[in-house]
Each structure stands twice: as structure tokens, then as C-alpha cells.
């Protein structure tokens, strides 16, 4: 299945049904009076977040969604049928943006969450609605109200607990394949990963979390260089960032600073997220190189640096445990916020 995280679509709710002008005509009833019914309500456009989708690829082939018009009224005070709503299913984490791509209309970040984006038009009144003591035979009936229409952008931001960032060829895909059942493409050239990958890490029967691996960043990515920062949105919701640095590449401090600069330029709160710095590819370095580069990184960042070899599975468990501590704290905070919101409601 192809991965698509942005799509532009057109949505339009249904118009309301028309009211009608009608009079009761029945044998032996000489003053039947008006009995034109009202029109039915037009169909709504509803978006629903479902857990079994992880891409917006379906919207590449279907880009127009229109709800049906409500039924027209009829004689004998019969109201037109209301049209069915059109329910558009999207992955969890989908944001609905206005056509300007800046105004956020909705953020569907929980399974089963629904939002009515376009309400169907109300049905028009039939002439029975306008009957009064002084106007006993009204011939007025109204058209149904028009529905709403929008061009909107859908943007998917994957729901993950940990975000993997780093330069191309830092070993991110290898790390993901070692700690989870994900099987991303792995090769010895840059930009092997062209779209985000998700993997589930299971530390025990009750301890698990989701890692998102995004394509590597290079200098000037916030200006569109390389694959740019388009995919950084997928790690905005993460509790912690895992910054992998290729220890065998040379100047590890410059590599760290460059990625930090790109995260800060992107915004979205990524520069303020907790970060675990990991020096990867220990199997390709001598003990002296490991010690010197680790000290240099710790001096530049002011935080402890962990050393692993993803391909040899050395030090991986310690990193996963450190990540899970951040994930557990974030989950506890979210649970407390949810409980507080429920209590206030």
C-alpha cells in the first residue's frame, strides 16, 4: 500500500428539500385547507477517525464527496425524507485544514472521534406552515436551504510515542527493524527511507510503545532541501525524540547541531521535546573513538549520551528502557488531563 499523508478534497452537504403548496381535496370536505408538507433535511458530511487506516491514499482517487438533497414535501402534510449523512473515514491523527492550509478545522486524534464538517440544509416550509386565522389559504411554499461546501486539505500526523530523527544513513531504519517487527528498506546509500515507517516495540506483556521513523534530514531541510521537513509533522505528537548519530561518520557534534537547528527552524514544538541522544554504529569504531566522540557530544549537548550498535544489538535494551520512561510519564499526564476534563464536564 502506498503512503500518502496529504490530500485536497471537495465536500458538499445536501440541500434541504423543497416545501410544497397543496390543498386538501376530499369528498364531502368543502373547506379542506392547506396541507403542503415541509422538505426534508439535506445530508451532512461527517469525518470519522478509524484505527484500521494509516494512509490517505484513497483520497487520491476519490476527491469529491457530495451528500444527497433532502426529499421534497408532499400533500397531506407529509414531510420529505431526510437524506443520509456521508461518513468519510480517515486515519487516526488526521487534521482537517481550510483551503489556505493554515486554518485548523478539526484534529481527529482519537479512535471513533467524529466531526460534522458540513451540515445539511434545512428543508423548506410547505404552505401548511403559513396558515393563520387571517390567511387560511396561503399559496406560499419555500425552497430548501442550500448545503455547505468547502475545499479542504487533509493532513495525516501519525500517532507515535517515539520519533526517530537523524541524518540519512544514521541507522534509523536498522534500529527500527531490530526493535520491532517492522521491515523498512535498508541500504548503504542516503534517503533509503522515503516515507514514514511505524514499528511497535514490546518490552513485556504490559509494556509497549510505537516508534515512528521518518526520512533523514540534511542541512537546509527547513528550506526544502532534500526531502525537506514535510515528514516532521509525523513526530510532532511524540513524547520523546530519539536522535541517532552515526558515530563512524566523523564530526558527530556538527551532525547533532545541524539536526537541532533544523528541528528549531521547523517549529511545532519539536525543539522543546525531550531528546535522547544515541551514538550508533559502535561496532565500526575503536574504544578510543567511542570515548572521545561521546565526551564531545555530552559537552556540546549538556546531556548524557548512550552508545549502541543497532546491527549488533548492543546497548539497544537500555535505550528502549530509557525511552519507555518518557513514554510512561507522557501517558500518565494525558490520563490525568482526560480525567480532569471528564470531572469538569
Q: Is 171 annotated as a binding residue?
A: yes
Q: Is 45 annotated as a binding residue?
A: no
Domain span(s) for CATH 2.70.210.12 in the chain: 6-156
Q: Is 14 annotated as a binding residue?
A: no
Helices 172-179, 316-344: crossing angle, 10 deg rounding = 80
Q: Is 215 annotated as a binding residue?
A: yes
DSSP result, 14-54: PPPPPP---B--BTTBS---B-PPPPPPPPPEEEEEETT--
- Sheet containing strand 208-213, edge to edge, reads 197-202, 208-213, 162-165, 240-246, 275-280, 305-307
Q: Which residues contact 98 (CB under 8 A, 6 or more apart)?
A: 104, 105, 150, 152, 153
Domain span(s) for CATH 3.40.50.300 in the chain: 162-344
What confidence category does residue 1 fall into, taking pLDDT thresholds of 50, 70 and 90? Answer: very low
Q: Is 324 annotated as a binding residue?
A: no
Rounded to two decimals, the pTM is: 0.75
Report helix, strand or coil for 131: coil
pLDDT, one tens digit per residue, over 130-159 is 999 898 889 999 999 999 999 999 988 877
Superfamily of domain 6-156 in CATH is: GTP1/OBG domain (2.70.210.12)
Burial 291-319 (b: 16+ CB within 10 A, else e): eebbeebeebbeeebbbbbbbeeebbeeb
What confidence category does residue 230 fall into, taking pLDDT thresholds of 50, 70 and 90? Answer: low
Q: Is 213 annotated as a binding residue?
A: yes
CATH placement of domain 162-344: 3.40.50.300
Report helix, strand or coil for 284: helix
Q: Is 191 annotated as a binding residue?
A: yes
Q: How many angstroms separate the CA atoms of 328 and 162, rounded?
A: 11
Q: Is 9 annotated as a binding residue?
A: no
Q: Is 234 annotated as a binding residue?
A: no
Q: Is 174 annotated as a binding residue?
A: no
Amino acid at each position: 500500500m502506498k503512503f500518502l499523508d496529504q490530500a485536497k478534497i471537495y465536500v458538499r452537504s445536501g440541500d434541504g428539500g423543497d416545501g410544497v403548496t397543496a390543498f386538501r381535496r376530499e369528498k364531502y370536505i368543502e373547506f379542506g385547507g392547506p396541507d403542503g408538507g415541509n422538505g426534508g433535511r439535506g445530508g451532512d458530511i461527517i469525518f470519522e477517525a478509524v484505527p484500521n487506516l494509516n494512509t490517505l491514499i484513497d483520497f487520491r482517487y476519490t476527491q469529491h464527496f457530495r451528500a444527497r438533497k433532502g426529499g421534497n414535501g408532499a400533500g397531506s402534510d407529509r414531510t420529505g425524507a431526510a437524506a443520509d449523512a456521508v461518513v468519510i473515514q480517515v486515519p487516526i491523527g488526521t487534521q482537517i485544514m481550510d483551503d489556505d492550509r493554515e486554518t485548523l478545522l478539526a484534529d481527529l486524534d482519537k479512535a471513533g472521534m467524529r466531526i460534522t464538517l458540513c451540515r445539511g440544509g434545512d428543508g423548506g416550509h410547505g404552505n401548511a406552515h403559513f396558515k393563520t386565522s387571517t390567511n387560511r389559504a396561503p399559496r406560499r411554499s419555500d425552497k430548501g436551504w442550500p448545503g455547505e461546501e468547502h475545499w479542504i486539505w487533509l493532513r495525516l500526523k501519525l500517532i507515535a510515542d517515539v520519533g526517530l530523527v537523524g541524518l540519512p544513513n544514521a541507522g534509523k531504519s536498522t534500529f527500527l527493524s531490530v526493535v520491532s517487527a517492522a521491515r523498512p528498506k535498508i541500504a548503504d546509500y542516503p534517503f533509503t527511507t522515503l516515507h514514514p515507517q511505524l514499528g511497535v516495540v514490546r518490552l513485556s506483556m504490559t509494556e509497549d510503545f510505537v516508534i515512528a521513523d521518518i526520512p533523514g534530514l540534511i542541512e537546509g531541510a527547513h528550506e526544502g532541501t532534500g526531502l525537506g521537513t514535510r515528514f516532521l509533522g509525523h513526530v510532532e505528537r511524540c513524547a520523546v525524540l530519539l536522535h541517532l548519530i552515526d558515530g563512524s561518520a566523523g564530526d558527530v557534534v556538527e551532525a547533532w547541531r545541524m539536526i537541532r537547528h533544523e528541528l528549531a527552524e521547523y517549529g511545532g514544538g519539536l525543539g522543546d521535546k525531550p531528546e535522547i541522544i544515541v551514538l550508533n554504529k559502535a561496532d565500526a569504531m575503536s574504544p578510543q573513538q567511542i570515548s572521545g566522540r561521546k565526551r564531545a557530544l555530552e559537552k556540546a549537548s549538556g546531556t548524557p549520551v548512550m552508545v549502541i550498535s543497532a546491527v549488533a544489538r548492543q546497548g539497544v535494551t537500555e535505550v528502549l528502557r530509557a525511552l519507555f520512561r518518557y513514554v510512561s510519564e507522557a501517558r500518565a499526564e494525558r490520563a490525568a488531563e482526560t480525567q480532569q476534563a471528564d470531572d469538569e464536564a
